[in-house]
Every structure is written in C-alpha cells, then in structure tokens.
Amino acid sequence: MTKPKQAEPEDKSTAFVKTRKAYVRTHKLSVTKAKEPPIRTEVKEPLTEQHRKEIRELITEWVNTSLLAKKTLNHGTAYSRLYEDGLERKVNGIEQIEETEFETCRAFIRQRIRIIEAGDYDGLTRKKSDWATTRIKAIQSACRTNGISDEKRKAYMLVRWNVDSLLLMSDDQLEECRRYAVSKPPPKWEIPKVEIIGTQPQREKALSLWLDEQEAKAKAKGEPFDRQDVIFPGGKSAALAELARTNRTLFATDDGQPMDMDTFGKFLGKAKLCKFHSGKPRKT
C-alpha cells in the first residue's frame, strides 16, 4: 500500500530588496532687506542724546507692557508705529526726528502704554514694578493741583476705603482712588453726610484692624495673643506711637505727633475692645 504524498511546506522566507539612499545638500540663503533711504534728509535741530535715551526707554516700556499683556510687539514694530502714526510718516529713523517733535513722540508712546494698561489683561498692571508708585504720584499731584490737603484726602480715604495711607491701599483701591482723583470736574473729596462717622467709632475700627495685624504676627511666631487683655511691649505709649504712625488722621496731632496719653486713655476706656497694660509682656 502506497503512502500518500505529504504536502510540501510553504516557503516562508522573506526577500529583502536593497535601495540606494539619496542625499540632497542644501545651502542656507539669507536675504537682507535693504534699509530704506531717509525720508527727511535735512535735520535742523536733531534730538539731544538725553531725549534719544528717553525715547528708547519709553519704547522698551511699551514693548514690555505689550508682552506682559500677551500681545506681540517688538522694538522694530514699535519704532515703525511711532514714525508712521506718531509722526505721520515724516521720518523713518530716530536720527531724523527734530528736537521740536520730542514731546509729540513722548506723548504718543505714553498714550499707547495707557491704552494697553486700561485693558488690564490678566492683572497686567499688577505685574509692573512701578505701577503702585506711578498711581500714588498721580493722586498726590492731582490733589496738589486742585488744592486738596493731605488731611482732607486721608479723611475721605478712611471713610471710603478704611485706610488713610496710600501705601496701605490694595491695588484695586489704589486704582479706584486714582480715577477719582483725576476725574473731571475735579473732585472735592468731601465726605457725604450720610457716611460721616464719629471719631470714636472711626478710632475703634482702626484699632480693631491694627489688633488683627498684631494677632496675625503673634500667631505666625507661635506666640499667644489675647485681644481682650493685650500686653504690648512698651505699654500704651508704644501702641499709641504705632497707631499714630499708621493712622495719623485719628491718633496724631496736626504736626504728626501722637495724641496725648490722657485722650488715648479715655478712648480706650470707651472702646471696650481690649485692655492695654503698661510694662513688659507677662510670662506665659
């Protein structure tokens, strides 16, 4: 009996085909745009070196402000806008600007910066290191121009924002105060009659805020603090000196000195917020 033929196994071998790789060599080509010829060929009184420096610094501030607001603006574009929009295409280079056009340039750049700041993109103004200083100077300048004394301004601030120092204001309060100070017609900084608060309640409110700060500092150091029985280093005189420094309108005389101790003692007696003791802090 003949055996059946077994099927031959399939050929599972793989065929590889070699191909020749091709390489392409490239050369980097740089194209440089030719500088445009000067539009203004004759400059009678060019900018002084100091004014050129100031324009460069303002351009840099404009660019940095734009970048903080996440807007694309480089130095070249900023200069182009100054030449085209600020100076109506009379020049295409800083060396062509006349000295008489300096104020126009400065006003144009500052206006562009203010436009960006007005948008307050994601707290842009808070990111600028000189933001608070600029606002404080603007408020003080506006008050001097309109004949508003520091005492009158502080009294208004205390009622409206619960602080009598521009340095203690939050960013939002400072910006709100600046807008009020420069508004038209000039504000009178008068406290509405419905908002007038007696001196005693105002002092108690200021004292309460000050005690909050003292308590927070004590907790940060792990020290005990009892609002109802405060033992302050140096006693009442040291507490009064600190309150007079931070709340001059309420706890200081016209010349900036702390009020007399008798008046301060009577105030504390009526306040009932806490008891101040003289001398060293008690041991715990």
Locate the domains of the chain by residue range. 49-124, 131-195, 199-277
How high is the pLDDT of residue 11?
A: 55
Q: Are 65 and 116 in contact (CB under 8 A)?
A: yes
Using alpha carbons, select from 146, 132, 56, 141 the residue that is nearest to residue 93: 56
Max CA distance (Å), the chain: 136
With residue 277 as reference, give the H or E element that holds it: strand 276-277
Q: Are 82 and 108 in contact (CB under 8 A)?
A: yes
How high is the pLDDT of residue 194?
A: 46
In the block, tokens 């300048």 appear at 141
Per-residue pLDDT of the chain (284 residues; tens, 9 = 90+): 555 555 555 555 555 555 666 655 666 666 566 667 888 889 999 999 999 999 998 998 888 888 777 777 899 999 999 999 999 999 999 999 999 999 999 999 989 888 887 775 555 555 555 778 888 999 999 999 999 999 899 989 988 888 888 988 887 788 899 999 999 899 999 886 544 457 788 888 888 888 888 778 878 888 877 766 666 666 778 888 888 888 877 888 767 788 888 888 888 777 766 666 655 554 54
Packing angle between helix 235-246 and helix 199-220, nearest 10 degrees? 110
Using alpha carbons, select from 48, 51, 76, 50 the residue that is nearest to residue 62: 76
Q: Are 73 and 67 in contact (CB under 8 A)?
A: yes
pTM over 0.75: no
Packing angle between helix 199-220 and helix 261-271, nearest 10 degrees? 80
The two three-digit tokens of residue 37, written as one number: 């010829």
In the block, tokens 């600020």 appear at 86
Which parts of 166-272 fold into alpha helices (H)?
171-181, 199-220, 235-246, 248-251, 261-271
Concatenated DSSP letters for 120-179? -TTSHHHHSTTHHHHHHHHHHHHHHHTT--HHHHHHHHHHHHS-S-GGG--HHHHHHHHH
